[in-house]
Structure 1
Amino acid sequence: MWGLGKKRSPLGKWLDRTGYNQEDLVRLSKVSRNTISKSCSDKDYIPSPAVMKKILKALREVDSSVRADQFWDL
C-alpha cells in the first residue's frame, strides 16, 4: 500500500494520483532531490519562484493544465 502514514503536500498527492514519481520530477526539472522531497512532504513549504517554474515546466509535460495555485498558496 503506497502512502500509508506518509505526510504529503498537494504536490505529493498529485504525484501519487497521477503515478508520476519524485525521481522523474528530479530528473526532468533539474531541481535537487532534497527540494523535491520537501515540496512533496511539507505543506507549508513554498519554493522560490525560479524553482517553482522548473517544477511546473516538468509537470506540464504530463498535464498541461497544471497551475501553481494548485500546489502552493501564492
Structure 2
Amino acid sequence: MFGLNKKRSKLGKWIDRNGFTQEDLIEESKVSRNTISKACSDPDYVPTGTTMKKILKAVRKVDPSAKSTDFWDI
C-alpha cells in the first residue's frame, strides 16, 4: 500500500488513493521532480499559478472534476 507512514499533502493522498504515482505526475505535468515531491509531501506548500495549472491538467486526465481547492487552500 502506498503512503504508509509518510507525511502527505492533499495531493499526495489523492495520488495514493487513485493508484497514480509521483513519477506519473512528473511525466504528465512536465513539472520537476523536486516540485512534485514537495507538492505531495508538504501540506502547507502552494505552488505558483503556472505550476498549479500544469499539475491540475495532469490530474484531470484521471479525475475530470478535480479543482485546485481540492488540493490547496487558496
- Offset from partner CA, 1:2-37 (integer Å, 9 cap, x none): 322100000000000000110010001000000000
* Unpaired stretches in structure 2, ≥5 consecutive residues: none
How many residues of Structure 1 are paired with residues of Structure 2 in the alignment? 74
**TM-score of the aligned structures, taking structure 2 as reference length:** 0.96
Where 2:16 maps in the other structure, the secondary structure is helix
Where 2:43 maps in the other structure, the secondary structure is coil
What is residue 68 of structure 1 aligned with on the other side?
A: 68
**How many angstroms apart in 2 are the aligned matches of 1:35 and 1:67?**
19
**How many angstroms apart in 1 are the aligned matches of 2:5 and 2:23?**
20
Identity across matched positions, percent = 65
What is residue 8 of structure 1 aligned with on the other side?
A: 8
Over the aligned positions, Cα root-mean-square deviation in angstroms equals 0.8
Q: Is the 8 A contact 2:3 2:13 kept in 1?
A: no
Q: How does 1:1-74 map to 2 (within 5 A)?
A: 1-74=1-74
* Unpaired stretches in structure 1, ≥5 consecutive residues: none
The one-letter amino acid of 1:51's match is: T
The one-letter amino acid of 2:73's match is: D
* Superposed structure 1 runs of 4+ greater than 4 Å apart: none
